[in-house]
Amino acid sequence: MDIEVLGTLAVREHGVSVTPTAPKPRQVLALLALHADQVVPVSALIEELWAGTPPRSARTTLQTYVLQLRALIATALEHGAAAGEGAEGTAGGAERRTAKDVLVTLPGGYLLNSGGGTSDVREFDRLAGIGYRAMDAGDFPGAARQLREALALWSGPAFADVHGGIQLDMEARRLEETRLCALDQRIEADLRLGRHRELLAELTVLASRYRTHENLHGQFMLALHRSGRRGEALDVYQRLRATLVRELGLEPSAALRRLQRSILMASPESPVATDTNSERLVRVG
């Protein structure tokens, strides 16, 4: 089974989609797919579907949605069996998986058995982990490469085409935080490699999209300063400060204020960088 949730929901068995079109069965599959090979409690699924006000028939209705998903899985399994007829090993009497083997009922919940298939979330976590370790080791080319590959798995917001409830919305926010962390570290690696001019267009968009994200704004300031655009770097700081004060009632962090002062006092070609290990923006040199 191949699972994708970092964008639109796509779950395939033998290359055949088992993703339903009806909203609530989609919610059920999305939560099961995110936690593939783990038991998802019935209580979590009910909370996802009905947000604390389940009908009396909630468990029966959930069972109906599970049956609908198994019907789609059964069709995909039949397709796979038909495609594999005559292939080596299929005639040896090996038992084929059934829909109940794929979407398993267990005490207290359900489990989606991926059968060793792919998961974009797992692959993202694997690649990002390699990237973080490369950053810690000072291997900035390797870190940039691995983190860029991890981020390429995202085609949009997680569960972009699923009408999420409490559980999925929470999971989507968690996944977005992991994406932003990887993005932050990939940009940091690129800055370490002197790619500041290449980053300007991307950081312009990111600073506009994440209007209160201090580290992205700090990285934008660094990239502008290193490109000889000190005035624009200082403008980025002033816009961020105005937004933080207006929307959150907060001043920029001490680290960002130090960076602003460093840029203010430096000549355009002076080296200003981030301290990756301490995750604080500082003056270097």
- The C-alpha angle 103, 125, 138, rounded to 5 degrees, equals 170
> The domain at 2-84+95-112 falls in which architecture?
Orthogonal Bundle (1.10)
**Rounded distance, CA 157 to CA 252, Å?**
28
9 within 8 A of 19, measured Cβ to Cβ: yes
- DSSP, collapsed to helix, strand or coil, labels residue 197 as helix
pLDDT recorded at residue 137: 97
- What pTM was computed for the model? 0.85
pLDDT recorded at residue 156: 94
184 within 8 A of 142, measured Cβ to Cβ: no
Q: What is the DSSP string of 218-272?
A: HHHHHHHHHTT-HHHHHHHHHHHHHHHHHHHS-PPPHHHHHHHHHHHHS-TTS-E
197-285 falls under which CATH superfamily?
Tetratricopeptide repeat domain (1.25.40.10)
**Rounded distance, CA 244 to CA 212, Å?**
6
Query: Closest Cα to residue 39, out of 94, 86, 96, 104?
Result: 104
pLDDT recorded at residue 271: 47
**Rounded distance, CA 19 to CA 116, Å?**
19
Neighbour order of strands in the sheet with 39-41: 39-41, 109-112, 103-106
154 within 8 A of 7, measured Cβ to Cβ: yes
pLDDT recorded at residue 95: 66
pLDDT recorded at residue 276: 37
Domain ranges of the chain: 2-84+95-112, 197-285
Query: Closest Cα to residue 18, out of 52, 84, 92, 68?
Result: 68
pLDDT recorded at residue 82: 75
CB-based contacts of 264, cutoff 8 Å, min separation 6: 234
Query: Closest Cα to residue 115, out of 105, 127, 103?
Result: 103
- Output the tens digit of pLDDT for each of the chain's 285 residues: 999 999 999 999 989 999 999 999 999 999 999 999 999 999 999 999 999 899 999 999 999 999 999 999 999 998 877 776 544 444 444 568 899 999 999 999 999 999 999 999 999 999 999 999 999 999 999 999 999 999 999 999 999 999 989 999 999 999 999 999 999 999 999 999 999 999 999 999 999 999 999 999 999 999 999 999 999 999 999 999 999 999 999 999 999 999 999 999 885 444 454 443 334 443 322
- DSSP, collapsed to helix, strand or coil, labels residue 2 as strand
Query: Closest Cα to residue 204, out of 228, 178, 223, 184?
Result: 223
